[in-house]
Amino acid sequence: MKLGFRNFFYWLGWDLIKWAIVLMPPLILPALFIVIRDFIPFESASAAVFVILIIASIFFALLSSIRLTLVTPLAVIRSKPVLKGSWNMTRGKWWRIFGNSWMIYLIILAYQLGLSIALSVLSFPASKVLGSVSVPLMKLFSILMLYFYVGLMFSVPVLVAAFFSCAVYRMLLKEKEQTEAGAIAPRG
Amino acid sequence: MKKDEVKKVSLWRQTLRDLRGLHKSFRLWVLAATAIFPLIIYAYVILIGGIDELASGSRPKVSEEDPLFFLVTLAASAPFFISSRFYIFATLCKRTI
């Protein structure tokens, strides 16, 4: 498989569209509420409409982010149609992907927590020693440690998320092929 | 489980299994490292400013508190961040799909 510039722009476009779809309702619905707020006669009704809009937007964002998980791998390999393909492949598997993604988030959270503790344990004595030598040197060390920390905090989750979406695509494709092979009946 | 059923692999376990194989790929390590490229640029400029401050004792000309510096760094590093993300996906797709 050869992946070039065309794949890059194709992926970039579909990735932006995916996030626009996922994030648009949580951004648009509260704005819509601000517009219609003046036309709602009662304060309690206004609060209820606000809560309903927030719940609806969160629900849609959760639903669509899971159903569009496969947009990235599909767009990278230019497998058309991207949105429909992802939506169809994840049909009936929402809870499975959602549950598994939560496990991944918990692992990332544990990693971030461990990293925070490890770096603070390591950097505190080091900055104290440097502080006794020179205050600007200690400041410089603290800033560099901070960016090193932020870098590790964000780069590893990006990589794990990439692995997860590729693993989901590969596994679902494999199961689909096995099911379509005919001799094998799907479980559950 | 019956023999003729499709075996459903746990997706998060499979992700961890794939991640375990990561140490074999030097290229992926490099790609993972490039994901923090924006921060490397940021840290580099701060380092230069910090060295300047250490040498002269005065405040550096370029400061991370400057909003323009933040925007320029963001604009300069965004292509690296986006392309490194693409190459991570591309490498994974080539390896696994």
Residues 6+ apart with CB under 8 A from B78: B38
CA distance to partner chain A, nearest, from residue B26 (Å): 14
For A102, nearest residue in chain B (alpha carbons): B12
Structural domain includes residue B88: yes
Average pLDDT over residues A86-100: 93
A123 and A48 assigned to the same domain: no
How far apart are the C-alpha atoms of A149 and B69, rounded to whole Å? Answer: 21
Structural domain includes residue B9: no
Predicted ipTM of the assembly: 0.76
How far apart are the C-alpha atoms of A160 and A149, rounded to whole Å? Answer: 17
- A170 → closest Cβ in B2, B22, B97: B97
Structural domain includes residue A187: no
Structural domains counted in chain B: 1
A176/B contact by beta carbon, under 8 A: no
Would you say residue A17 has pLDDT above 50? yes
Structural domain includes residue B35: yes
Residue A129: both structure tokens together: 């020693």
pLDDT confidence tier of residue B28, bands split at 50, 70 and 90 = low
pTM of the predicted model as reported, rounded to 2 decimal places = 0.77
A156/B contact by beta carbon, under 8 A: yes
Structural domain includes residue B40: yes
Structural domain includes residue B66: yes
A69 and A108 assigned to the same domain: no
How many Cβ contacts (< 8 angstroms) between chains A and B?
139
Name the region of B7 (left: φ>0; alpha: ψ -120 to 50; beta: rest): beta
Structural domain includes residue A107: yes
Residues on chain A touching B22 (C-beta within 8 angstroms): 159, 163
H, E, C per residue of chain A: CCCCHHHHHHHHHHHHHHHHHHHHHHHHHHHHHHHHHHHCCCHHHHHHHHHHHHHHHHHHHHHHHHHCCCHHHHHHCCCCCHHHHHHHHCCCCHHHHHHHHHHHHHHHHHHHHHHHHHHHHHHHHHHHHHHHHCHHHHHHHHHHHHHHHHHHHHHHHHHHHHHHHHHHHHHHHHHHHHHHCCCCECCC
Higher pLDDT, B58 or A22: A22
Average pLDDT over residues B57-82: 67
Average pLDDT over residues A84-102: 93
How far apart are the C-alpha atoms of A61 and B71, rounded to whole Å? Answer: 29
- Least-confidence region, from A25-39, A130-144, A159-173: A130-144
Domain that holds residue B63: 24-96
Structural domain includes residue A152: yes
C-alpha A171 chain-centroid distance: 19
Structural domain includes residue A175: yes
A70 and A123 assigned to the same domain: no
A117 and A176 assigned to the same domain: yes
Structural domain includes residue B80: yes
Structural domain includes residue A141: yes
Structural domains counted in chain A: 2
The last residue of one of the domains, among A64, A89, A114, is A89
pLDDT confidence tier of residue A160, bands split at 50, 70 and 90 = confident
Q: Confirm if A22 and A65 have CB atoms less than 8 A apart.
A: yes
Structural domain includes residue A160: yes
- A159 → closest Cβ in B5, B9, B88: B88
A14 and A34 assigned to the same domain: yes
Structural domain includes residue B29: yes
Domain that holds residue A19: 5-89
A77 and A151 assigned to the same domain: no
